Structure 1
Amino acid sequence: MDLPRSFTIRESSHRIHNPLTSQKLAILGEALGPSPGTRILDLACGSGELLCTWARDHGITGTGVDISTAFLAKARARAIELEVAEQVTFTHGDASDHVADDLVDIGSCVGATWIGGGVAGTVDLLRRSLRPGGVMLIGEPYWRKDPPDQATVEGCHAASADDFRALPELLEQFGELGCDVVEMVLADQDGWDRYVAAQWLNTRRWLDANPDDELAEQMRAELTAGPVRHVRYQREYLGWGVFALMNR
């Protein structure tokens, strides 16, 4: 059980596996202001940057769950680097059915709502681990502008325009699920650039080092098409944000 190798090639240098910059991740932590000892469950935690930096900056404790052995190794190394290894733990597993043994103060799924089959299922999954009065964090794309055609939809890694909502409709969906939106931090185009452009350099360096690998043809095709697709479609049409929710 692991991520396809192409994912770890593209994002081998990433600490944050979404378009939220480290500065905006810190802003989110400052906005929520978790007190020391706050317990967090981070599903699909990637390389653990949220847990590790918030443990350092706010004294939280927590558990991250992810399917990627490569990213979890980075998360554990990051915890040691930031001297928070006694505060956070990382578990290899399928986050789609993970429920905390003890209820947590913050339940997070930042950019991987496919683990619950979408926003509604992910909110339901996080609720199962959340104490009364706790906060859920959902990271999710939204349309910045209506996609004019199917090429734009597919250029934003969607199958249908219905895969994402406009920002007002996304916030309305949270309300329909019985949640109050109590905070949000939105990525910007620079955040998209930092996330996506770093993948191009990772891919090129990997191709130079592994020209005969079985994935080389696929990764070369991605690198050839990726920069233009990003600036033509994703950068212009797709937004992304982290939304803090509380049950009504």
Structure 2
Amino acid sequence: MDRDKISQLAHADHPVNSPLDDESVRRLLRRTVGRGDAHVLDLGCGEAAWLLRTLVEHPDVTAVGVDNSAQALAKARKEAAALGVERRLVLHHQDAAEFASDRRFDAVLSVGAAHAFGGLLPSLDAARGHLAPGGLVLVGDAYWEREPTTAARELLGEYEDLATTVDRVVGHGWTPVFGHISTRQELDDFEWCHTGSLATWALDHPDDPDSADVLDAATTHRSQWLRGYRDSFGFLTLVLRRTSG
């Protein structure tokens, strides 16, 4: 089955494609988009949930989103039109790591998209190239809350513990000015929404040729989460400024 379709179905019932609830998203955006007339970029925007919320909240903000999923961007455009913010949103269908612009942005977002750049620090390098002087970066990525099993590492990749993750960011030339560590409830809600949305769609569409594959994807993901990484996976979102330069 098409991977983009699986992703869209899995995240249909969650506010953003990261383990953050509505209040956390609101607080992080308030800390990041400080000016009413800010120009905001989201690298790896998916369905542009972060940008749409920002545009609704701030009627003078303009935004640019970049993602390689045509389906996600199509949904973002439809939602932007429904919200009446489409004239202030530009979406680019391309790899976020390859995006180039002569414009510098007051805020650059990249939450849960580090894989598109090859890791957290490369994603910060990309953000820095688009950031206006004094601008803010909102970045979110995983860390190991506890020592993971070998299976968890093989499934999710290599991360560090929380303190080491922050130290690496600081050592790379950034200063955290705000942050959020996803709670157990946020982490669990995200996974239940992921697997539940897939399962619900499959059960509601038993005659669809993709139904069995979608239900299998839900079952596999739920098992990997509960048996593999639930007790070790954490998620950190930081608001950053350049330490110098």
For the residue of structure 1 that corresponds to 2:86, the secondary structure is coil
Q: Is the 8 A contact 2:107 2:137 kept in 1?
A: yes
Residues 106 and 132, structure 2, Cα contact 8 Å, conserved in 1: yes
CA contact (8 A) 2:52 2:80 kept: yes
1:142/1:238 contact within 8 Å kept: yes
Q: 1:48 corresponds to which letter in structure 2?
A: A
Distance 1:87 1:244 in 2: 23
**Are residues 80 and 231 of structure 1, via their aligned partners in 2, closer, same or farther at CA, if it must alter by over 3 Å?**
same
TM-score, structure 2 as length reference: 0.88
After superposing the two structures, state which structure 1 stretch, 232-241 or 36-45, moved more.
232-241
Cα distance, 1:228 vs structure 2: 4.2
The one-letter code matched in structure 1 to 2:36 is P
Q: Could you tell me which amino acid in structure 2 is paired with residue 150 of structure 1? A: T
CA contact (8 A) 1:189 1:235 kept: no
Aligned residue for 1:206, secondary structure, equals helix
User: What corresponds to 1:97 in structure 2?
Assistant: 98
| 1:85 corresponding residue in structure 2 | 86
Aligned to 2:42: 42
Do the aligned partners of 1:15 and 1:47 also contact (CA within 8 Å) in 2?
Answer: no
Q: Structure 1 length as normaliser, TM-score?
A: 0.87
SS in structure 2 at match of 1:207: helix
Letter in structure 1 aligned against 2:123: T
Aligned-pair CA distance for 1:199? 2.0
- In structure 1, what is the equivalent of residue 156 of structure 2? 158
Q: Deviation of residue 211 (structure 1)? A: 5.1
* One-letter amino acid of the counterpart of residue 11, structure 2: E
Across the aligned residues of Structure 1 and Structure 2, the Cα RMSD in angstroms comes to: 2.2
1:207 aligned to 194, 198, 202, which one?
A: 202
Offset, 1:135: 1.1
2:240 is paired with a residue whose SS is: strand
Matched, 1:18 2:18: yes
Once structures 1 and 2 are overlaid, which stretch shifts more, 29-38 or 41-50?
Answer: 29-38
* % identical equivalent positions: 25
May I ask how many residue pairs the two structures share in their alignment?
240
193-202 vs 118-127, which moves further:
193-202
